[in-house]
Amino acid sequence: MPTSADPTPYLELQAVEAWLGPRPVFTDLCLRLHRGEHTVILGPNGSGKSSLVKLLGRELYPVVKPGSWLRIFGSTSVNLWELRGRIGLVSPDLQAHYRPQVRAADVVLSGFFGSVGIGRSQQPTAAMAARVAELMEQLGLAELAGRPFGQLSDGQRRRLLLARALVHQPEVLVLDEPTNGLDLRARHQLLGLLRELARGGTTLLLVTHQIEAIIPEIRRAVLLRAGRVVGDGPVEELLRDGPLSDLFATPLRVCSANGYRQVLPAD
């Protein structure tokens, strides 16, 4: 259900099969995502959400077989350096890879190199440093520039990773469970930043199991369960009592306010 004027999906999966170790994560996954269309991939733990992010980030590769393909920005062959400039990623895996002593500013700067921290062989330019300073100012992180990553709160770390993902001004921003572990203030700050990005023209792909993390600008929902798409359509149709109760296999009641949704037990 593309709503973008751009007819080429930034992600196209056709009958994709993919394995993690000895088990299949996907056996026949079909999905198309378009620029200009803010989308949430919603599902319970173990549904394949993070594996989908790994497919998009080229950390996981599908089985090669007839009638099956994975295309990113219309191509089956992807240059990783080019991809990093077009798709930004914020994920718990990435946060866990940073050493506690890495300076906050270097976390953001490393986004230019697709690395975790800055190595001796990497030579940041003045333009890169200026972009880092600009982003840290915009995201309320300027005073943290010299602080070690390990001394920051989870909310501050998540905003740093968001700044890192934005250094190339990507067309698409992928957010894998971005509000996990955040307190109310940090979560609201992060969601506010995501709303600004969505209104500013960055295409958002939110991957989560948390209904309350879905900002009002997201209009399409893809429901994922056991590696299969079990629902795909407008949020008004899918983020309701029945579809969500089926998705999470528990009776739920959805409450809405100011464009956000919360879920409560239905019994």
Integer CA distances (angstroms), 73 to 6, 40, 63, 78, 115, in order? 11, 19, 19, 9, 23
pLDDT, one tens digit for every residue, the chain (267 residues): 444 446 789 999 999 999 998 999 999 999 999 999 999 999 999 999 999 999 998 889 999 999 999 999 999 887 878 888 899 999 988 898 899 999 999 999 999 988 887 877 788 899 999 999 999 999 999 999 999 999 999 999 999 999 999 999 999 999 999 999 899 999 999 999 999 999 999 999 999 999 999 999 999 999 999 999 999 999 999 999 999 999 999 999 999 999 999 999 997
Query: Which of 86, 85, 13 lies closest to 52, judged by CA?
Result: 13
> pLDDT tens for residues 193-237?
999 999 999 999 999 999 999 999 999 999 999 999 999 999 999
User: What is the signed CA dihedral for 211, 18, 164, 224, rounded to 10 degrees?
Assistant: -10
Give the type of residue at 262: Q
Sign of the torsion angle spanned by Cα atoms 52, 56, 62, 67: positive
Answer CATH for 11-265 from 3.30.2390.10, 3.40.50.300, 3.40.50.2020, 3.60.15.10: 3.40.50.300
- Considering only CA atoms, give the Rg of the chain: 19
In terms of residues, how long is the chain?
Answer: 267
Integer CA distances (angstroms), 237 to 38, 126, 210, 223, in order? 16, 49, 17, 12
